[in-house]
Structure formats: structure tokens, C-alpha cells
Structure 1
């Protein structure tokens, strides 16, 4: 076993729907401490788990770790592509047909934004 293997940790993630539990070397991690996690693996290398801390919870991490720092991707380009693909006539028709369309000022705009959000989520 080389030096890199000695620093490896046993990580267990059990996920069911939006709920998950995480253990590191058999110790549970407070679910409030982790906002997200990613798992990746390159051929010939052990899996790489990145825990994105949420800034709350009681878990403290101690010891050696491989640290990964990632910037959140800019949503602008993806949003621009999504919006460019929207048919304005179809959006207006869908917004006007919504059961939650109100009669207040800006209700149509609110209905259109709600409709766009649903389309973006695949609903």
C-alpha cells in the first residue's frame, strides 16, 4: 500500500430520493453539514468524493484530506440557450391557460415565469 492509499477514507452514502445519509470511516455526518456531494472516478484511481459544506450542523472534519475547490457554474449561458428555444406564442398560450392565472397587475408575467420554471424543471 502506498502513501496515497493510507490516506483513503471509507465513505458510505445511502441515498433514497432526495434523502441521503453519509458516513466517513463509520462515523455519521450530520445531514445539515453537507449541502451537496459529488462522486467521480477516473480509470486506475480510487473514487473521489467531494462534500460541499452547507455551513450548518454539528459535524467537524479533522485529519488529512484531498481538498477540491470548485466555483459554481455561471447559469447565464445555459439560461440564454433555454430562453432562445422558447416559442413566445406557445409560452403565452400556456400562461393564459394556467388555472393559477390571477387578475392582478403582473399576473400574466408571473404566470409566464412560473411556466418557464416548470419547463426548465421538465414538468
Structure 2
């Protein structure tokens, strides 16, 4: 049953990622905002889950929300591919900004998720 729930949550995460991409995608090269947003939201949710004691590998809730939903929502490979593509098209400043913003968003999202989790304790 857990496998089915993880698959359903993964489908929901993948659809949400696609919708964010469709709604926010722009043709001009630059910072990959849709990818930045889904990775930031996924990081925040994973930190929130961890602060509530439901790490992605702990029990059904962690597996469904952490591995299924957040795993499908976030995308390191797309971030890496978009950054390399920017650098290859001589958009090195945009590539560097993409990396810096992704690291900054992650560094903010983790403590924010932990703080949010603390509100439920």
C-alpha cells in the first residue's frame, strides 16, 4: 500500500512541477525561476517534515510526502542542466546567479521549514 501512496504523491508532485513550469516559463535565457521555485518549496517542505519527526525515510508519512511528493516536485538534474546550458551559451553571469540563488533559497528554506515545524510542537 505504501508503494501505491508514494506513486500517487509522486504523480501529484510531478504535475505541480509541470504546472509551475508552464505558468512561469519564459523563452529568454536567464535564471530558471520555475526550477528555483519548485526546489525551494520542496526544500522547505522536507525541512518541515524533518522537524516534525517524519524524515523522508521514516514511516509511511515520510515516504509518501518526502520521497513521493517532494522527490517528484524537486529537480536537481534540471537545475544542473539549465546551469550548464546557460554557461555553454556564454551566459556565465546568469549561470552563476542561478547557482547562487539556488544555494541562497535552500539556505533560507531549511531554517524556515524548521521554524514552521516548531509552531506545531
Give your verdict on TM over 0.5: no
Higher helix proportion (structure 1 or 2): 2
Bigger Rg over Cα: 1
Higher strand proportion (structure 1 or 2): 1
TM-score when normalising by structure 2: 0.25
Higher RCO (Cα < 8 Å, 6 or more apart) = 2
